[in-house]
Structure 1
Amino acid sequence: MAPIRVGFRGISANVGPRTDAGGWAKAAHLPYLRKSSLYEIVALCNTSVETAKAAIRSHGLPELTKAYGSPEGLAADLDVDLVVCSVNVQKHYNLIKPALLAGKDVIVEWPLGANLKEAEELTLIAKETGAKTAVGLQARFAPAVTKVRELLAEGRIEPVLSSTFVGAVGLYSGIESVGAGFLMDINTGGNMVTIHCGHDKNRRLPPSTGYTY
């Protein structure tokens, strides 16, 4: 079977730590996509064609990898089967909407949109075009969560009547931290509840959203 051809939004030329711009895309997505025979990265989309080309060179992607400076350009590429988007949540709507309108499959990091209105509109477009979609909630596959799921399935734990979630926020614990401004701005859609707790609580999206993970 031919590999799924991927167009990626979120990989910068920076090769620094995960907390840098594009860090999550490089740490969590890029290594697997490059290693797996099921996928082939055929295009990168950044804020400009020049920065996309710089990222291609920086990460040693094939010279034939296409470079785009707009989500519309990436969405129009007939050689792209799947668009992967790993950027700040306030950019999700504008970056994946063109791909969904083009009927392309999309994987986007959680949260889906900066607000409910964006999420509902993107979901509706995906349903209308028949695009296959997924929202990344990787904590669902964490070893500890997987083990608890196994214990419940085996009946070794009595039926759970209630649960409590307690999370540490040490990464952004101080108001002087770099990420504090982003997390405190209600308009970004990104904060400790929607991002960090949303990942860790591993709660499924309602079936009506049309999104899975």
Structure 2
Amino acid sequence: MELTQTEENYLKALYRLTSENDRQQQVSSTELSVQLSVKPASVNEMLKKLKEKSLVSYIKYGKISLTASGLQQAIHVVRKHRIWETFLYQELEYKGEEVHEIAEQLEHIQSPDLIDRLFNYLGKPKKDPHGEIIPKTQIESASVQQMLLPKGKIGIAYTITGFKELGKSFLDYMEKVGLHIGDIVVIEEKHTFDQSFTLLKNKQSIHISEQVALAILISA
């Protein structure tokens, strides 16, 4: 099925919303409007088109959900986006927002063979530079239950699953303090004075600011 770039963006946005809202399967048109920064009238018009293609289940003024076909199409776009991000970051050394913005354009290239070759060339990576899982071609979850570090609980062990910031200075700082994707850390203390955190890694305490904590993704 051939889709326009706008249609793909809507499906991807719906997938992101249904995945991030505690796996809830339905969202409102208002949430979709905010996610895409478009007017509600434009959202309603596009939803009609997607419904005609059997990609969404939607009743006017009601909740929206992806059909099995819509979910499959959304995952294809997510897969392409994350593979392109990995290529840009790993091979071309793009950093930060550049990776995401360029991948937003490249994800719409309609060539499954190119994506498969790129995936194999990169060594079949399991995650993108942000720590997000690169889904397989069949329907499966493309996200893990992760959250920003400040939402974690004191005394609980978490795995660092990714970084929201990919700038060189941030990554250099992470290397300096000894925090890497895949590390297991315990949130030892949250300091109310400045909202900073003390983490425990291999019995070693690591102090990070609130700004740094807000750029670290974790999962239990």
TM-score, normalization: structure 1?
0.27
- Greater Rg by CA: 2
With structure 2 as the length reference, what TM-score do the two structures score?
0.27
Larger relative contact order, structure 1 or 2 (CA cutoff 8 Å, min sep 6): 1
